[in-house]
Amino acid sequence: MSRVGKHPVSLPQGVTAEVKAGAVQVKGKLGTLSLAITSDVEVKLADNQLVVTPVDQSTKARMMWGTVRNNLANMVKGVSEGFKQVLEIEGVGFRAAMQGKDLVMQLGFSHEVRYPSPEGIEIKAEKPTVLSITGFDRQKVGQVAAEIRSMKKPEPYKGKGIKYAGERVRRKEGKKK
């Protein structure tokens, strides 16, 4: 039995869900998200809660039970509160700023790096060395943060690069004389 899947997803005030054949659509103050449901699980809306149950006791159905439940919970949280990811830029001369819808970064290359802000995602340069990525789709927020981080990953000798807030970069000792 899935420990995660057996818990229903409660819908907070101002969030509505609509269960259609093969899909669930969740609407809230921040936007609308939809999720395609596999045939291995069944989703029902009862008492302002989304309840996920497996169709049978196959391995795939039990795996999808908890996965679908967590995806629905992320959708509900996203349309009601939203998600936020913070990135820190470390290094001499490394900085970022917003120019219109584009994020412009100086990362030690001979040119500046431009990253266009995708639809539904808001990027803010709170300081020249701190970026805040917010949105209502958790997968999209994480993907944008990963793409920005991949432009200059933190290196282990001086720790220069872009890292997640709270990420600990494992440091290495340099050459010895």
What are the tens digits of pLDDT across the range 43-94?
Answer: 998 888 999 999 998 888 888 998 999 999 999 999 999 999 999 999 899 9
pLDDT given for residue 22 in this prediction: 86
**Helix extents (H) in the chain:** 59-80, 138-150
Please report which confidence band the pLDDT of residue 110 belongs to, taking 50, 70 and 90 as the band edges.
very high
- Residue 8's closest CA among 37, 48, 62, 51? 51
Cβ atoms of 157 and 97 within 8 Å: the answer is no
pLDDT given for residue 2 in this prediction: 63
Please report which confidence band the pLDDT of residue 105 belongs to, taking 50, 70 and 90 as the band edges.
very high
Please report which confidence band the pLDDT of residue 159 belongs to, taking 50, 70 and 90 as the band edges.
confident
Cβ atoms of 125 and 100 within 8 Å: the answer is no
Structure tokens at 143: 């993907």
Structure tokens at 121: 């995602």
> By three-state DSSP, how is residue 131 classified?
strand
Pairing mode of beta strands 23-27, 32-36: antiparallel
What are the tens digits of pLDDT across the range 131-157?
Answer: 999 999 999 999 999 999 999 999 999
pTM of structure: 0.86
- Residue 52's closest CA among 75, 71, 29, 33? 71
pLDDT given for residue 1 in this prediction: 59
What are the tens digits of pLDDT across the range 8-29?
Answer: 989 999 899 999 888 999 999 9
The domains located in the chain, with CATH, are 9-80 (3.90.930.12), 83-164 (3.90.930.12)
- Residue 148's closest CA among 109, 103, 111, 112? 103
Please report which confidence band the pLDDT of residue 175 belongs to, taking 50, 70 and 90 as the band edges.
confident
Element (H, E) at 147: helix 138-150
Residue 152 phi, psi (nearest 5) = -160, 85
pLDDT given for residue 133 in this prediction: 95
